[in-house]
Amino acid sequence: MSVPLTPITLEGRFVRLLPLTNAHVRPLLSAAAGSRESFQYTWVPEPTTADVTRYISAAVAAFEAGAAHPFATVRIDSPDTVVGSTRFLNLEYWPDATGHPSTRDFPDVVEIGSTWLSHDAQRTQVNTEAKLLMLTHAFETWEVQRVVLRTDARNAKSRANIERIGAKFEGTLRHHKHSTDGANNGLRDTATYSIIREEWDVVKSSLNEKLSQ
């Protein structure tokens, strides 16, 4: 089941998340053009107009199909500077207890993923606040029951960042998808984490504390 999505803009003190559109080809190209040493385990478009255009077109098509909501990540202190992208994806709409299709306008479960940042934006408040904005929207506007976060099982840095947010490790999905670097016979094992509704208040408080430091 898919439900038409409404464009969302999320804004905090350090970051603004704008609906990703074809207007972001050039700024996203700039974000992808710096050091790529941290992109080994993440699908990031090559810094060419053709590849960034394909990347955005696929993201826009997923939005129009109700399958994902992609964002351009923009630094507040430099409003025209796009530093990466992230998205809501794998939206789940649960049937009710009798098996009837969901009547909710919003998903019951959502994943936050396809996240990447330019080298200069890493190890700043950008990722922490972007996650806070997205989690707040998921739990307090959409009223989801669960938010999922996933990463390549080999990506120790990403796993540490997810755990730092307060997500709980659920397990590893073996041979879950194609690996971005072709390793492991071209297949990726995916480490899966989640935050559930009952944990949200504690996670939110922790993220706000991290941003205030």
Q: Are strands 82-92 and 146-152 parallel, antiparallel or unpaired?
A: unpaired
**If you count them, how many residues does the chain have?**
213
**Considering the domain boundaries, does residue 148 fall inside one?**
yes
pLDDT score of 91 more than 70 = yes
> In the prediction, which pLDDT does 1 show?
61
Q: What is the pLDDT of residues 110-129, one digit of tens each?
A: 999 999 999 999 888 999 99
Residue 108 in any domain: the answer is: yes
Domain of residue 178, CATH code: 3.40.630.30
Asked if the structure places residue 106 within a domain, the reply is: yes
99 lies in some domain: yes
What's the pLDDT at 37?
A: 86
Per-residue pLDDT at 79: 79
What is the three-state SS of the chain?
CCCCCCCCCEECCCEEEEECCHHHHHHHHHHHCCCCCCCCCCCCCCCCHHHHHHHHHHHHHHHHCCCEEEEEEEECCCCCCEEEEEEEEEEECCCCCCCCCCCCCCCCEEEEEEEEECHHHCCCHHHHHHHHHHHHHHHHHCCCCEEEEEEECCCHHHHHHHHHHCCEEEEEEEEEEECCCCCHHHEEEEEEEEEEHHHHHHHHHHHHHHHHC
Confidence of residue 15 (pLDDT cuts 50, 70, 90): very high
Residue 77 domain flag: yes
Of the chain, the percentage scoring pLDDT greater than 70 comes to 100
Domain membership flag for residue 93: yes
Domain that holds residue 58: 10-212
**In the structure, what pLDDT confidence band is assigned to residue 209 with cuts at 50, 70 and 90?**
very high
Query: Per the domain annotation, does 114 fall within a domain?
Result: yes
Residue 2 has pLDDT above 80, yes or no: no
Is 139 contained in some domain? yes
pLDDT digits (tens, 9 = 90+) for 40-49: 999 999 999 9
pLDDT of residue 118: 94
Q: What is the pTM of this model?
A: 0.95
Query: For the chain, how many structural domains are there in total?
Result: 1
